[in-house]
Every structure is written in structure tokens, then in C-alpha cells.
Structure 1
């Protein structure tokens, strides 16, 4: 059954369920009719016996065969019901028998208070014996009521029920198949839609429509939401791969060109050798930085550990770091030592370092960066202002997108990857903050990071 289709399972289960339900009803109905008919047969036999006893008592001890033959009503009743009546004396000797339609058991002097169901010579009968006294006569009267008609009727009913049960099985199977075809049609269409989506690599929108607000409608809604997420993820993945390959292509080509140059003849020229090695190292650093930023972004997408971090402590670490790696950078501050925010120190360090790197990269002068910290009712506001080239108004809304660069020509020379600001925004949002930017071309840029302190 594991390999059966849902329609086949539905058809068989509905057919079997309806069949057994109908069969159970038939069994209950059969035994109800059986018991009711037995009670009816018993009543008929008892009525006949009462009438016979009453007739014999009314005629007295001088009853003759002619008296009996003249009672047509009683005789017709006995004959039609396939009953037999016999009159016995005290010793069990048969004196009179009316109709020989059914058999009698062997005589015993024990009278029966109720009818007993007997099988005599393969014949089912209801039998009863009563003591009879009228006039000077004392003996017994017995009745044997044939159950042949009852048995035949019950056999007919049983055969009819079996036939109806088989017909119900067939009809229920047809109904189950028809209902499953109708009810499972949307599921089959949804399955086909999933197969098409898989073949098209989830690039097409869901074309399957189902308007009913039932479980299948909820399933379709969940499927559409899932497909939108999958499609968006695949789209971002494709863009990610394309942009990374594009960013890596240029430094790889540069390194490859210089290595080819050295391999051909440049290794014997010291100036060419030093220049090629320096340029190759710079390009490798660019690739290394790109990969580091990509890994940081991937690792930070689900991290959300929160702790109190002192802002001044982080800024002092950055000042010390930039004095070593870039002495031309000036970082001045206006920060109260008490200011802290609910963020990991490594995360805050990464946010501010990326913003400082951005200020250095997009700057035609010696970088002069001013960091100040203020507080409002809910957030700590960290402002980072530089003397760089600035950002045009139409580009401000795009700078936090992955791989987006403000000035592509200058970015190639400065080594920008377009990932730094996307990392900043992702981290700020992850820790419940906001970031905005104010800038004009040629007037520098100010980034303001709002982070909760409670």
C-alpha cells in the first residue's frame, strides 16, 4: 500500500468503509428480522394451540371426526401454517392427528410452558405440549409448527442482503473513485505545478489557483509563500555568484597577467619584478578582503547574541588599529565614557570599522573622520562624519545593497567590494537598530547608527 496512489488508497478505503458499514447494518437488520419473525411464528403457533384446546373443550368428551371436519376455519389455519395437531391419552397413545405436515418428537409426560425449537428428521419446528382435561377425558394435546416458510424467507433475506452488500461495495468503489477524482484534482494540479517549478528552477510564478478557503487553500497559500522565498533565495544566490565572479575576475586577471609577464622575461628585471609582485600582492589582498567580508556576512545572518558593550572602548581599539595600518587616517571623537549599547563587541567593532573603511576608501584627501555619540529616549546614536567625496541623492537608497558601489571607477582603484555597508545594515537591523545617511557630493558623508541601550 505504500506505493499506491492517494486516489487508489481513497477509493479502496472508502469502498471498504462503506461496505463494512452496510454489512454491519445488514447483520443487525438480519438478526432483528430473525428474532421478530421467530416471535411471530411462536404467536401464530400459540394462537392455533389455544383455538384447538378451546374447540376440544367446547365439544366435550363426545367429539367426533365430523365435528372437527366441519370447523373449516380451524382446519384451514392449521393447513396453511403447515401445523400438525395430535391428541394423546395419559399413556402417550395417539388418539387423533390433524394434518400431517410436520413431525413430533418422542413422547414425554413433561409439559412445556413455552415453545421449544426442535429439529426432527431435518425439519425445523416449534413444538409445545399441554395437558388437556374435558369431561371424563384426561390427556395431552401437542402442536408441531413447521418453520419451513420461516427458514425459506430468512434465506431469501440473507441472499438479498449479500447481493445488496456486493452491489454496495461496487457502488461505493465507484463513488469513492469519483469523489477522489474530484477532490484530489487540485492536489494533482498542485503536484504538476511543483514539477513545472522544479523543471524551471523555480523561476516562474505560481500559476495554480484555488479559491476555496479549506485545508488545500491553506496549503496553496503556504506553497506560494515558500515558492516566493525559494525564488527570492535563488535570485539572490544567482546575483551573489555573478557579482562575486565578476569582482574576482579582474584581480585574478591582473595577477595572471603579471605572473605571465614575470614568467616570460620580467623575472630578470628587478624593477619589473618588484612592481609585479607589489601589484599581485595588492590584488590578492583585495580578493582576501572580499572573501572575508562575504564570510562575515554569511556567519552573521543568524547570530543574535546581545551583551552590553562600551562604545568608547571599541573606538579606542579602532584608533590603535588604524595608527598601525594607515597612519594618514585621523579619527577624532566626542564620546562620553558611560555610553553602552546592547550589542556584541565584535559586532559593534565590525559596524564601525566598515563605516570607517568606507570613509577612507571614498576620500581624495587625507581621511579625517569624526565620531560622536548622543542619546535619545530609546537609542544611542553613533555619528561617523568624514571629509570624503560624498554620495549623490539618487545613490543613497542603493548603497546598502550587496555589491553596490557608489563610484565604480574609483572603487576599482581603491579596492571596494560593495559588501561593507550591506554587512553594516544587516548587523544593525539584527540588533534592533536603524541606520541612516546624510551626504552631498563633495561635502563628505555622515552615517548615523541608532542602537538600543536598554
Structure 2
């Protein structure tokens, strides 16, 4: 069953049940009150008639008195202890056939006989001969009960008049609710069939839940489209970057196969070139795997460590590897950073290596703190980066200057990894640079985070 049909059926059935319960309650309460009033009125007339019997001294006077109290559409009679009717007065002879029985107590009830309803009241009285008889008065109340028929008809008509608009309103409501959802389904089917990202056209209306649903869907599509474009660009860039070393390896391998064995110089050159490109491909593959893991979930092994010491140790290692100068300007007091020590070391190596690859002779590491952040700066005196290109340097495979070529060993993934490491540590990395004057990378970590004692 479709949701639209479910809404209509459920809302209509619920209203019908509510209306039936309400109308039934109204009908029976009204019926009870009418019958109660009719019986009380008959009992009052009977009491009045019985009260006047004391003044009747003869049978004729008594009978005349009782006839005077006979209802216009009823009867009055007396029943002795033997259940025999000893007196009856009525204008409708058929009323004399109403069932009777003697009882010594007072009673009031409604009796139905031959399709008619009667309000019946009885009470014991002393008859002229000194015996106790049951004086009974019955009054036809069919005319009063016809009001209930009118009430029943009104309630039925009212129920129909309420249910019909409600059913139509249910259709409109279901249409109002489901139209955006159907539009969402249609858009998703088109995305599935055409393979292209599409967004919903949102009407300018109140920001209700349906609008929020559509808006959230559009945001999700934007994110998916952006991620798809990034993935597509990543695959393209990776293929482009791998194409060159593979071409070099293939060319030198072909050369060596043809005549390299007979020329030691060519053989050595070919082996060196193949080894160099293989090392470069290995480095690129490792960096690509690092990025792929980070996209899924960058696992951090968090601990407290002293950042000044890590910077000094990393600087010495880099100086020994490159033969260039790395100055460390440490904070006056120990700086305890809560993070992944190996990832922060990798971050330092990336920034230092990046500086040396692109013209820096001297690099300065500076560590300081503020109330909110722990700040790590890497400043070099290299070739710098054009301001227009600075926002792009953290993109994968991007190199700000074509002079930063493969001969430098870079593939444009290092700064992407650096940014991922900072993001995983809830930090930020910023760049300030000026052409031919140098570049400064500033890494800001949130201060005050500590390892939890266990």
C-alpha cells in the first residue's frame, strides 16, 4: 500500500472511529436523559393522583378522581394482591393489554410493547375496602422518543459532512507531504540512471521539515559531487604522475635490451635511471597509501610529549641528511603537546624537506605558546610562493611553481599529508610567503589537551 493511501485510510478510519464513539456517547446520554425525564414526569402525576385518593369516600368518587388523572396518551389502573386488575381507565383500549404484575413496592421503568414505548410508574395504596393494591400509571412516550430519531439523523449527517472534507483534506495533506519526497525519489532515480549529480529545486517557503530534507539532500549531493571530482582528479593526477617514471623505466629497459649490455656507460646510466625512478615511484606509492588511509580514518596514537625536544632531534637528523642548517628557536619553558608523536615528526620532516627542495639554505623552527594554542613555525629563505597560488598548495599533486619539478623529488603530496595530520589533531596550518623572500608555515594546535590517566 502506498504511503499516500495509508495516510488517507488511516486518517479517515481514525476520524470515523472518533466520530462513532462521540456520536454514540451523545446519543445514549441524550436518550437516558429523555427517558429519565419522562419516567419522573409520569411518577409525579401518579403521586399526585394517589395523594388525592384520601379525599374519595365512595367508589364512584374514587373512580372519577382517578379518571381525571389519566394521561392524554396513557392509562391508570389498580392491581390487587391476586394480580387481578380491579380498575382501569384509558382513552386507548389497547393500552389495557399492557403486561402487569403485582408488587408491594414503588417502581419506575420504561416498558416496550407492540412497538411502542411506555413510561410506567407504580406505588402501593390503600383501597376503599382496606386492601393494599398497586396503583399503576403508563404513558406512551413515542412522541418524545422521535426526538432521538431526529438526533440520530443529525449525528449521521454531521458525521458524513465531517468525514468527507477530512478525506479530501487527507488527500491534500498527503500530496503536500509526499510531493517533495516524490521529487527526491525522481531525482535519485535520474542520478542512478544518468550517472550525473542533480539537486532538488526548492521552493521559497517556510523552513519546514520538508524544506530541510531537500536542503540536506542538496548539501549531501554537493559533498558527493565535490568528493567525486576530487577522486576523479586524484586518479587523473596519479596516472599522470606515474606515467613519466614508467615511461623512463620502459625506455631505459628497451635501450639496455638492445645494446646496453655492450656499453658499460649506457648500462650504468640505465640502471641508475631505472633505480631512481623506482625509488621515486615507491615514495609516491607510499604517500598515496598514506593519503588513502587518511581519507578513510587517520589513526592516531595519542600521548603527551615534549615538542621542543622533538623539534631539536628532527632538526639534527635533517641537518645530517641534507648538510643544510636548521635552527631551532625553542620556547622558554617545556611545551607538552598531546598528539601522535610520529605523525608530528612526519609533519616536521615534510615541511623541512619541502623548504630544502625549493631553494632554502637555512630553515628556522620556532615553538611558542599562547593561552589558546601551541604554535609551531617553519620559516625558510627559499624561492617563495605566489600569493594567488598559496590557497592551492595543499591540494594533491599541486606544485606552485613548475621549477619545482621531478628532479627535486616532489610529487605534490607532502603538504596534503601535512594538512591531514593537522586536521586529525584538531589544528590548523597556514602559509605566508613572498616570492624570492621565503615561506613560513604556521601550525597551531589547541592548548590544554592532556592524556587521560588510566
Q: Secondary structure at the match of 2:105?
A: coil
Cα pair 1:435 1:447 within 8 Å, conserved: yes
Q: After the TM superposition, which residues 5-404 of structure 1 pair with which residues of structure 2 at under 5 Å, given as runs?
A: 5-50=2-47, 52-53=49-50, 60-63=57-60, 77-78=71-72, 80=73, 83-88=74-79, 91-99=82-90, 100-102=93-95, 103-108=97-102, 110-118=103-111, 125-133=118-126, 139-146=133-140, 154=148, 161=155, 165=159, 168-196=162-190, 203-263=197-257, 266=260, 270-300=264-294, 302=298, 305=302, 307-317=304-314, 319-320=316-317, 323=320, 326=321, 329-336=323-330, 339-340=334-335, 342=337, 343-363=339-359, 368-373=361-366, 375=368, 377=370, 379-386=374-381, 388-404=382-398
Cα pair 1:189 1:208 within 8 Å, conserved: no
- After TM superposition, the score normalised by the length of structure 2 is 0.78
Report how far residue 414 of structure 1 moved: 2.5
Question: Could you report, residue by residue, the CA deviation over 1:410-442 in whole angstroms, capped at 9, with x for unpaired residues?
Answer: 41332321111232234345453543333433x
Alpha-carbon distance between aligned partners in 2 of 1:105 and 1:175, rounded to the nearest angstrom? 54
Alpha-carbon distance between aligned partners in 1 of 2:75 and 2:175, rounded to the nearest angstrom? 62
Q: How many residues align?
A: 436
1:200–1:312 distance in 2 versus 1, CA, 3 Å? farther
Cα pair 1:19 1:172 within 8 Å, conserved: no
Alpha-carbon distance between aligned partners in 2 of 1:183 and 1:332, rounded to the nearest angstrom? 65
Q: Secondary structure at the match of 1:402?
A: coil
Alpha-carbon distance between aligned partners in 2 of 1:169 and 1:157, rounded to the nearest angstrom? 18
1:397–1:89 distance in 2 versus 1, CA, 3 Å? closer
Structure 2: gaps (5+ residues): 449-454
Alpha-carbon distance between aligned partners in 2 of 1:10 and 1:176, rounded to the nearest angstrom? 7
Alpha-carbon distance between aligned partners in 2 of 1:70 and 1:424, rounded to the nearest angstrom? 115
1:93–1:299 distance in 2 versus 1, CA, 3 Å? closer
Report how far residue 32 of structure 1 moved: 0.3
Alpha-carbon distance between aligned partners in 2 of 1:158 and 1:129, rounded to the nearest angstrom? 31
Report how far residue 146 of structure 1 moved: 4.6
CA RMSD for the aligned pairs? 3.9
Cα pair 2:318 2:326 within 8 Å, conserved: no
Alpha-carbon distance between aligned partners in 2 of 1:362 and 1:38, rounded to the nearest angstrom? 105
**Higher mean C-alpha displacement, 251-260 vs 135-144:** 135-144
